Amino acid sequence: MACEINRPLILLALIFMLGFPGSGYSQMQGDGAESVEKLALEDLIEKARQNAPDIKAAAQRVEAAQAQLDQALWAPFSQFTTTTFVTVIPEKHVNVDSDGAVLLESEGHRADDLGFGSNEIGPYIKFKIQGGIPIYTFGKISGLREAAEYGVKARKAEVEIKQRELDLRVRQAYWGIKLAREILYTLDKGRGHLDDAVEQVEQMLDDEDDGVTEIDLIKLRIFRAEVDRRELDARLGEKRAVAALNFLAGDSDGKRVDADEVPLKLITDSLESLDWYRHQAAAGRPELKGMRALKSALKAKVDMRRGGFYPDFLIVGEFGVAWAPLVDDVHNPYLNDPYNSQYWGAGLSLKWDLDFGLDAAKLDEAKAELRAMSEDERTVIRAVFLEVEEAYLRAMSAHQQLETTKKGRRLAKSWLAAVLQGFAAGVNDTRDLKDALVEFFSMYLAHHQAVFEYNTSTAKLLKATGRTDWKRDIKTEEADPGDDADRGETGKN
C-alpha cells in the first residue's frame, strides 16, 4: 500500500525545487504577532527590484561607466598644466649709461642668487600655464569617447540581466507558494472524503456489518496517516517557498511579505513559433545587448589604436609672468629677464609619437580582442537559442499536459463520487475506495503540477527572450474555475 500512496504524493517534492535557504514561517492566517504584506506577483517583482543588493551594485557600475564617459569627454581639455614657483633672492641691480642702455656685466653690479651676505632679501614669484587643445587626432579621441559610450550600454545591460534573473526567481517562489497551497487544499478536500469513509466503516463495525472488517478500517487509517504526513511535507515546502520570497522581496526592517490569496492561476496563450521566440531573444536579450555593446567598444578601440600611427594636430598656447621687486626690471627686447617679465603666445602644433613598433603591437592586440569577442558572441547566441528552445519545449509539453490532467481530474472526481456511493451501498469495498482516493489525489496534484510547470516554463521563456511581460500576447484565467467553485475561504490554506 505504501508504494501505491507514494506514487501520486511524490509530486510534493517539486515544491523544493527552488532550493533557497529559509527559516520557519508563521501560520498562513497570521497570529497577529508579525506584520505580513500580501502582494500580487507584479508588486512582488517591483519590491524585489527595489531591495535587491546585486541590482543596486550593478546600477553603481553604470554610474562608474558614466564617469568614465565623462572623463573621455573632458580628455581634449586635460592637456593644460600650470606651474607656480615662489622663493626669496637677494637684491639685484644693473648699471645703465646716460642713454639708459644696460652696461655689460663687468661694468655693472650683479649679485649672485646665493649671495645673501649683506644684500637685502626679497621675494621672487614665477607663474606659468601652458597646454593645447587637439583639433584632429585621426580617431584617437573619438574612439575613446565611442568606447566609453558603449561601455555604459554594456553596464546597463548587466542591470537588465540582474533584473531578469531576479524576476524569474520571484515568479518561481510565488508560484511555488501557490502550488504548495493548492496541494494543501487538495489534501484537505480528499481528507474529507476519507474521514467520511472512516466514520462509515466504524459505524458498520459497530453495527456488526459483515461487509467490512477491522482490516478495512486499519487500511483507511493508515492511508489517513500517510495523508497527514504528506500534509506536513507540503507545509514545510510552503514555508520554504515563503522564506525564499522574503529573501528576494522582503524589507530589510524585517517586515515580511507573502503571496496574495488568489488561487493558482494558469497563464493561457497560444504560443508562437520557435523562430518567433528566437527573433525576440536576438533583439531583446540583455546578454546579447551587452555583447554587442562590448564588441562595438572593441571596434572603437581598434580605430583608436590605428590612429596611433598618425600625428595629432593641436592649438597650443602659453602664458607666463615673473615678479621680483628687489631686482631691477630690464627693458631690453634682446635680453631675457627671468625675474620681471610677462609673456604669452599661441599657435598650431603637430605632435607625433614615433613609436611605430609599439603602435603595431597595440593594434594587433585590439584586433585579437575583437575577434575573440566575435567568437564569444556566437557562443552566447547559440546558448541563448538553446535556452529559448528548452523553455519553449517545456512550455509546449506543459500546455499539452494541462488538457490531459484537466480531463483526468474530472474523471477521478466522478470515479470517487461513484465509489463513495457504492461504498455506502455496500457495492464497493475499501480497496475500491482507496484506489479511487489515490487517483483523485494523483490527478489533482498532476494538474497542479502541470499549471506550475507551464507557468514556470513560460517565465523561463520570458527571461530567455529578454522580455519583461507577455501583456500584449496573453491573458490570465483561473485554472478550471468551475471545478473549484465550492472552494471558498479554504483557498487560504
CATH number where 407 lies: 1.20.1600.10
Whether residue 411 has pLDDT greater than 60: yes
More confident residue, 463 or 78: 463
For residue 383, the model assigns a pLDDT of: 94
* Number of domains comprising the chain: 2
For residue 69, the model assigns a pLDDT of: 92
- Nearest-10 Cα torsion for 216, 218, 221, 222: -110
Strands (DSSP E) along 9-138, which ranges?
36-39, 80-90, 121-136
CA–CA separation, 117 and 367 (whole Å): 67
Domain-located, residue 306: no
Mean model confidence pLDDT for the chain: 81
Residue 151 and residue 106 share a domain: no
For residue 421, the model assigns a pLDDT of: 84
Once rounded to an integer, what is the mean pLDDT over residues 251-262? Answer: 84
Residue 380 and residue 291 share a domain: yes
Whether residue 34 has pLDDT greater than 70: no
For residue 241, the model assigns a pLDDT of: 92
For residue 20, the model assigns a pLDDT of: 30
Residues contacting residue 73 through CB under 8 Å, at least 6 positions apart? 145
Residue 282 and residue 321 share a domain: no
Rounded to two decimals, what is the model's pTM? 0.73
Domain containing residue 109: 79-136+312-351
**Residue 2 confidence class, pLDDT cut points 50, 70, 90:** very low
pLDDT (tens digit, 9 = 90+) per residue, 94-132? 776 655 566 655 444 455 555 555 568 889 999 999 999
Nearest partner of 374 among 319, 302, 466, judged by Cα: 302
**Residue 345 confidence class, pLDDT cut points 50, 70, 90:** very high
**Residue 146 confidence class, pLDDT cut points 50, 70, 90:** very high
Domain-located, residue 357: no
Residue 47 and residue 131 share a domain: no
Residue 205 and residue 170 share a domain: yes
Residues contacting residue 215 through CB under 8 Å, at least 6 positions apart? none
Tell me the residue type at 476. T
Whether residue 22 has pLDDT greater than 60: no
Once rounded to an integer, what is the mean pLDDT over residues 13-27? Answer: 31
The CA distances from residue 302 to 68, 141, 151, 352, in Å, are: 18, 12, 15, 19
Domain-located, residue 273: yes
pLDDT (tens digit, 9 = 90+) per residue, 423-447? 777 777 777 877 887 888 788 888 8
Q: Which of 243-257, 344-358, 366-380, 389-403 has the lowest mean pLDDT?
A: 243-257
Domain-located, residue 171: yes
Residue 333 and residue 185 share a domain: no
Whether residue 493 has pLDDT greater than 60: no
C-alpha cell of residue 7: 506514487
**Residue 1 confidence class, pLDDT cut points 50, 70, 90:** very low
Once rounded to an integer, what is the mean pLDDT over residues 149-171? Answer: 94
Residue 391 and residue 276 share a domain: yes
Strand partners, 259: 39
More confident residue, 24 or 288: 288
Whether residue 393 has pLDDT greater than 90: yes
Residue 164 and residue 83 share a domain: no
pLDDT (tens digit, 9 = 90+) per residue, 281-311? 999 899 999 999 999 999 999 999 999 999 9
DSSP at 138: T
CA–CA separation, 133 and 74 (whole Å): 11
Domain-located, residue 253: yes
For residue 491, the model assigns a pLDDT of: 36
Domain-located, residue 304: no
Residue 174 and residue 33 share a domain: yes
Do 156 and 69 meet the contact criterion of CB atoms below 8 Å apart? no
Residue 415 and residue 391 share a domain: yes
Once rounded to an integer, what is the mean pLDDT over residues 218-236? Answer: 86
For residue 476, the model assigns a pLDDT of: 42
For residue 268, the model assigns a pLDDT of: 62
The CA distances from residue 165 to 48, 170, 265, in Å, are: 11, 9, 22
Once rounded to an integer, what is the mean pLDDT over residues 144-160? Answer: 94
The CA distances from residue 277 to 232, 237, 388, 393, 458, in Å, are: 40, 33, 7, 12, 12
More confident residue, 416 or 252: 416
Once rounded to an integer, what is the mean pLDDT over residues 241-255? Answer: 85
Residue 190 and residue 89 share a domain: no
Domain-located, residue 100: yes
Residue 404 and residue 276 share a domain: yes
Domain end, chosen from 322, 351, 380, is at 351
Domain-located, residue 302: no
